């Protein structure tokens, strides 16, 4: 990097911070933060636990946005001031230090930009994720399991918690189906871009001829919605099936039909849960999943109408990303069009840059 390139970088970052300021409106956020702090000092505020909890969450989110904004903005301003001063004094050592810090400066503004994109109504919610292998038997079932592990590792890296709702192992390798909740702030905001078909190209470990195979798996992500969300599901709208749980759980799972499968008749959306020994608890969890899936379904229909495209009931055919392991190493998303060569790291859950790249591309 030379002086001209760094100067241009500072200009672009200053423009970006001005645009972000117009979106964030830090003065209004600070005013709202002061209002919340005044409200919390009132003893009656804590009488309504549900309301107090929502306001407290708003406060935490507002504080985080303000802190991130001021950190990024101050860093850009200080870098500009140091650069002008160093040029005036011909201080090569400081200039080189600023060049070295340039990637960090870009990352801080990118992090703020992404945070602004996670301001949707349910972006802060936990995420309900379901993974289904496509046609191809063991190949796709193993690929579905690789995706499952990728999201688990990502959640661990973020410090999020996992609750498995339904897990059905395949006979030879991989999984037939899995649904789970990733519990953490902005889990849905990040993972909503994972909705769609994921394609894997590799030399098959199940092919004795070592031929290259292409496998597909679908990923569905919906926000874990509150019980008070305006979605009504009546008994006549669903079909309820019970079955014996599979997997670990001792003798109980082999003797009682505690697992629940719900089918929403109009949309043909199917959810199932076998996480608990109680059929009642499994049904409650499945109903929450169904509400979340229906919410996501309706939002997708509305967006498709705005975009002027037909919403297909079958998610297959909307390939969002390819993971190529042979004959070369590359992960590439069709929306950001950014290639990544660290395939092993991505499959091990290092997907933040990939997710953020898609969020930024969609915002543009």
DSSP string, 95-137: HHHHHHHHHHHHHHHHHHHHHHHT-STTTTS-EEEEEEE-SST
98 part of a folded domain: yes
Domain that holds residue 244: 127-363
What pLDDT is attached to residue 210? 74
Q: Give the Å distances, CA to CA, from 30 to 189, 246, 362.
A: 24, 52, 29
Q: Does 134 lie in the same domain as 102?
A: no
Assess contact for 215 and 144: CB atoms under 8 A. Answer: no
Of 61, 89, 117, the one marking the end of a domain is 117
Assess contact for 217 and 143: CB atoms under 8 A. Answer: yes
Q: Does 352 lie in the same domain as 235?
A: yes
Q: Does 98 lie in the same domain as 150?
A: no
Q: Does 220 lie in the same domain as 292?
A: yes
42 part of a folded domain: yes
Give dist(CA 112, CA 121) in Å, integer.
18
278 part of a folded domain: yes
Of 117, 149, 179, the one marking the end of a domain is 117
Instruction: Name the DSSP letter for residue 186.
Output: T
122 part of a folded domain: no
Q: Does 23 lie in the same domain as 165?
A: no
Q: Does 141 lie in the same domain as 81?
A: no
Give dist(CA 142, CA 125) in Å, integer.
29
Q: Does 131 lie in the same domain as 113?
A: no
Assess contact for 357 and 336: CB atoms under 8 A. Answer: yes
335 part of a folded domain: yes
Assess contact for 202 and 325: CB atoms under 8 A. Answer: yes
Q: Does 356 lie in the same domain as 298?
A: yes
Q: Which strand (E) or helix (H) includes residue 192?
A: none
Cis omega (within 30 of 0) for bond into 327: yes
| 223 DSSP β-pair partners | 127
What pLDDT is attached to residue 311? 45
What pLDDT is attached to residue 247? 53
Number of helices and strands in the chain (H, E):
10, 11
Query: For position 29, which CATH number holds?
Result: 1.20.58.410
Joined tokens for residue 84: 């002008």
55 part of a folded domain: yes
Domain count, the chain: 2
Q: Does 196 lie in the same domain as 344?
A: yes
Q: Does 137 lie in the same domain as 105?
A: no
Where does the chain show beta strands of DSSP type E? 127-133, 161-169, 175-183, 196-203, 212-223, 238-243, 259-264, 269-273, 319-324, 330-333, 339-340
What pLDDT is attached to residue 315? 38
pTM, two decimals, is 0.75
Of 117, 137, 168, the one marking the end of a domain is 117
Give dist(CA 10, CA 102) in Å, integer.
9
The residue with tokens 């705005």 is 306
- pLDDT tens string, the chain, 364 residues long: the values are 788 899 999 999 999 899 888 888 999 999 999 999 999 999 899 999 888 988 998 898 889 889 989 999 999 999 999 999 999 999 999 999 999 999 999 888 888 888 878 877 788 889 999 999 987 788 999 999 999 999 999 999 999 999 998 898 988 889 998 999 999 988 999 999 999 999 999 988 877 777 888 999 999 999 988 765 667 788 888 998 887 776 544 433 444 578 888 999 888 888 888 877 888 888 888 888 888 888 888 877 776 665 554 444 333 456 899 999 988 999 999 999 999 999 999 999 999 999 988 988 887 6
What pLDDT is attached to residue 178? 92
What pLDDT is attached to residue 33? 95
Q: Does 197 lie in the same domain as 138?
A: yes
Q: Does 270 lie in the same domain as 187?
A: yes
Residue 123 has φ and ψ, to the nearest 5°, of -60, -35
Query: For position 243, which CATH number holds?
Result: 3.30.70.1660
């Amino acid at each position: 990097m030379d002086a001209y390139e760094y100067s241009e970088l500072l200009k672009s970052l200053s423009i970006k911070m001005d645009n972000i300021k117009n979106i964030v409106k830090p003065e209004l956020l600070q005013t709202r933060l002061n209002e919340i702090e005044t409200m919390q000092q009132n003893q009656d505020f804590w009488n309504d636990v549900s309301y107090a909890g929502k306001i407290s969450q708003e406060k935490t989110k507002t504080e985080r946005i303000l802190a991130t904004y001021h950190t990024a903005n101050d860093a850009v301003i200080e870098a500009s001031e140091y650069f002008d001063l160093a040029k005036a004094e011909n201080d090569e050592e400081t200039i080189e230090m600023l060049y070295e810090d340039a990637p960090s400066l870009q990352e801080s503004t990118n992090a703020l930009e992404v945070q602004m994109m996670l301001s949707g109504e349910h972006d802060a919610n936990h995420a309900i994720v379901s993974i289904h292998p496509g046609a191809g038997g063991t190949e796709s079932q193993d690929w579905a399991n690789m995706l499952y592990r990728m999201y688990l590792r990502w959640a661990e890296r973020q410090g999020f918690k996992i609750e498995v709702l339904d897990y059905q192992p395949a006979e030879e390798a991989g999984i037939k189906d899995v649904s789970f909740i990733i519990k953490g702030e902005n889990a849905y905001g990040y993972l909503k871009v994972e909705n769609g078909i994921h394609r894997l190209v590799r030399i098959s470990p199940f092919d004795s001829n070592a031929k290259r195979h292409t496998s597909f798996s679908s990923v569905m992500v919906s926000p874990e919605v509150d019980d008070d969300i305006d979605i009504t599901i009546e008994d006549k709208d669903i079909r309820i099936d019970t079955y014996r749980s599979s997997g670990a759980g001792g003798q109980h799972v082999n003797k009682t039909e505690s697992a629940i499968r719900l089918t929403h008749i109009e949309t043909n959306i199917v959810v199932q849960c076998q996480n608990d020994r109680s059929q009642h608890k499994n049904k409650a969890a499945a109903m929450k999943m169904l509400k979340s899936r229906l919410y996501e379904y309706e939002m997708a229909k509305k967006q498709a109408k705005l975009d002027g495209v037909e919403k297909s009931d079958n998610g297959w055919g909307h390939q969002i990303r390819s993971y190529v392991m042979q004959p070369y190493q590359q992960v590439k998303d069709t929306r950001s069009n950014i290639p990544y060569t660290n395939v092993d790291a991505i499959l091990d859950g290092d997907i933040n840059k990939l997710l953020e790249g898609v969020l930024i591309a969609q915002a543009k």
